[in-house]
Structures are given as C-alpha cells and as structure tokens.
Structure 1
Amino acid sequence: MADTALSAPLRSPLAHDAHRLAAATRTSRGAIRLAEVPFLAQVNVRLDAKGAAADAVGLALGLQLPLEPDTVVRAGELTAVWLGPDEWLVVGPPGSRAAVETRIREAAGDETVSVTDVSAQRTTLLVAGPRARDLLAHGCSLDLHPRVFGPGRCAQTTLARTQVVLVARDEPRAGFWVLVRSSFAGYLTDWLLDAATEYLAQPGC
C-alpha cells in the first residue's frame, strides 16, 4: 500500500543534504560545524507584553518572555525568541508543539492572545565552530562580533539575501541557529557550503 500523507514518515526539507553538511563539517577539521536541526516545534505567540497574560504564559512555560528587543530566553527544552514588542517565537523539541500550544492557551485564559503553529514553515540550520561567525559574515550585514551579538541575542535579518531568524545560542560553543523558510532551505544550504569552501581542507593537505 502506498504511503498516505498521514502514514508517511516525516521528511525534513534538507534530508537529502545531510551527507553534504556532514562532509563539510568533517573536512573543516573543527573550524565549522554544519547540520540541520529538523522538526523543532515553533509556535508564534502574540499578546500584550504588559498584560496579565504575559506573566501567566511565562509561568506556564517555565520562562519569562523576553522584553528586551532582539534577545532570547531559554529554560529547559524551550527557547523564547523576541520578534517584536508583542510577538515571540517559542521553540521546543520535536513533538512538543501541541503541548506548548495548550499550555499557552490555558495560561492566557480569557486574555487576548494569538497562538499559531508555524513548525512546518521553517527548518533550522546549526552553524557552529570557531569560524562560524566568519562564515555567516560572508552573507549577513549584521555586526556579529561577540560583544555585539553574543549568546542570548537574536535578529530577523537576511543571510545570502534570504530572510532568516538568527539566534546566538546561550553557550559560545553552541553556535547559531539559522531559522529559514523551508522553501529557501536548500538554496541557503548551497550558499553556506560554497561560502565554507575556504575553511575546508583540500585533498592531499
């Protein structure tokens, strides 16, 4: 019997590129690490940051929704990314979408809140290693120096002319998450691999 949409196994947008990302990581000899982090739960939340719902939702999620622009708060397996004065992206492990949505809705109660599952909208690329910032700087106009864009910072920006959400992970060695629209993920992967060429060991070296 042919697989149906409900029975077919999930396939990430970059499943066919996993071997290329792994090969680049291997041949960079520790300079960079590239990988897809597929199927992360991503829930967009909009509410009044000064209203009762903000505190209630934060309590339910076990983290305070960040109020400072372009910052990230992480607690346990959940990460809250600031997108605007009244908008956040809550990122969780694969399979947690429904639970995250439920916790937010129940905590908000009768308060005005918008909760939207956008998990299928984007995939996530991990860019890490000592040369990660140099690699990203090839195609991003932001100042990525650690003093400016260190752990816990985020930005909606463009990388290689592609709109992304860039997140500096909470530990320096953890690198960056690059959240990119699934339809642009292949293009961005090609660009990253091409831009990483100078960090890869050449045959015979």
Structure 2
Amino acid sequence: MLPVVLHTARLELSIPTASDAQAIYDACQDPAIAHFTTVPAPYLREYADEFVTQTAARWDELSHATWAIRLDGALAGMIGLHDLRETGSAELGFWVSAPARGRGIAREASEAVIEWGFSTEELELVRLEWRAAVGNIASARTARALGFRFEGTLRSVLRNGHGERGDGWIASLLATDDRTPQEWPIAL
C-alpha cells in the first residue's frame, strides 16, 4: 500500500521525508520525548535519517503506517499505527514537538488516523490499543478524549528511550465503539 496523505482542518499527515530529518532530530532532543516514548536518548542525527528510511519500508510492507504531523507546513510531531500484522489490531502512537503542544494536535491527528485505520479494508482492523508510560497525563487525556476505554496498568512493560523499564497504561478502542470521551479510573 502506498503511503496515504490525510488532512484535517489544520493538519496534513504525510510520510516523513529526508527533508524532515533535521526537524525530527531537533524535536527528539526534548527530554520528555525520550522519557515517554521509545525514541532513543541521546538521539543522534543519523537516527532521524534511518527513521525516515525505515518508515518508507514499513509502509511498503504495511507493518507500520507512520505520518509526519504538519501544521502550517512545519513538522509538529509523528503519529502512527504500529504492529499491523494481520491480527486485526494495531497500536496508536504519537509524539508532538514541544512548541506544538497544548493545541489539540495529537487529538486532531489521532482522529484522522483512527478513521483511516478502521475504514481501510486492507487492514481489517477491529481493535486499536493505546499504551503510555504511567504518568504521561497528556497522552492519557488525549486517548480518553478519543473514546479509548482504559483497561489497566501493565507492570514493567514499557522501555523508554533511555532503556529504563517502567509500568504502562493500556486502553483500547474497537471499531464498533462510539468515540465519545470516556471516564477513566485514574486521576487525570
């Protein structure tokens, strides 16, 4: 499947290209990204180049669908559906650059990706999972607002960019679920 370009009211979601590598590198210098994601720390410039190349290959094999989030033409983050392995499920993951945070970008981009994922017959998705390190309140608020149902805390399940293991929250959204914001049993 060719990479798909998605549009929202403010955003364009498109495959990251070599011209994005410097902006990806710059964004990944933010300690919060390494703390709350698997982005390696320290993040070297060559990692951005490798990421762009890997993203294209993963689109070709349809194992991951990853988009650069662009706001007014500038890179504002990354979003993707990961582990598309003929299981009918995938994991939604995203990060937003520090200057773009607090503007609803993750939610807006996620809505487009979720709609695409559930409507693409080639994927046959039934379930999306969201996972985040315990304490990643911004990500949890986004998932809750998207209608994800909180399923629990998994002990020592995630490894961050520093290689440290930690507990993670997990939530899911089924294709048949309504997408209204949900109440979660954790304090957000």
TM tier, smaller: under 0.3
The one of the two structures with greater contact order (alpha-carbon pairs below 8 A, sep at least 6) is 1
* Bigger-Rg structure (1/2): 1
Q: TM-score, normalised by structure 2?
A: 0.27
